């Protein structure tokens, strides 16, 4: 059962999608799934890095190095693709990252 607060948060999220031009519920769910995946990937990578530092083992982050955009062929530092980085970006730039412009 949804609490009134949870229902309000869900309505705010849907309003954000609508005002951002995403009217198709499947597209909205796809975007939410992508963001949840990126957040979890960042959390797991950070934990593995801390574990490796604690045990003295070598660990290479999935966010190490450069990513070459298939669309623009631009080289992007993978560290900027972390959830902890792009959640702080302004809407325009984070939208470009989310929609694959980079």
pLDDT tens digits in sequence order for the chain, 102 residues long: 778 988 888 888 888 888 888 888 888 888 888 888 999 999 999 999 999 999 999 999 999 999 998 888 899 899 988 999 878 877 654 555 555 544
68, part of any domain = yes
Domain with 39 in it: 26-98
CA distance 66 to 88: 20
CA distance 44 to 96: 24
16, part of any domain = no
pTM for this entry: 0.69
18, part of any domain = no
Spatial CA neighbour of 86 closest among 72, 99, 98, 70 = 98
* DSSP bridge pairs for 52: none
1, part of any domain = no
62, part of any domain = yes
Question: What six digits make up the tokens of 12?
Answer: 């705010």
Q: DSSP assignment of 5-24, as one string?
A: HHHHHHHHHHHHHHHTT---
DSSP state of 89: S
7, part of any domain = no
31, part of any domain = yes
> How many structural domains does the chain have?
1
11, part of any domain = no
Spatial CA neighbour of 92 closest among 10, 20, 30 = 20
């Amino acid at each position: 059962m949804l609490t009134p607060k949870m229902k309000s948060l869900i309505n705010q999220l849907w309003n954000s999608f609508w005002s951002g031009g995403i009217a198709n519920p499947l597209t909205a769910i796809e975007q939410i799934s992508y963001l949840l995946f990126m957040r979890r990937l960042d959390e797991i990578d950070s934990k593995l890095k801390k574990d490796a530092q604690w045990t003295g083992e070598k660990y290479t982050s999935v966010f190490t190095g450069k990513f070459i955009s298939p669309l623009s062929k631009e080289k992007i530092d993978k560290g900027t693709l972390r959830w902890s980085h792009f959640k702080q970006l302004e809407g325009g730039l984070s939208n470009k990252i989310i929609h694959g412009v980079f």
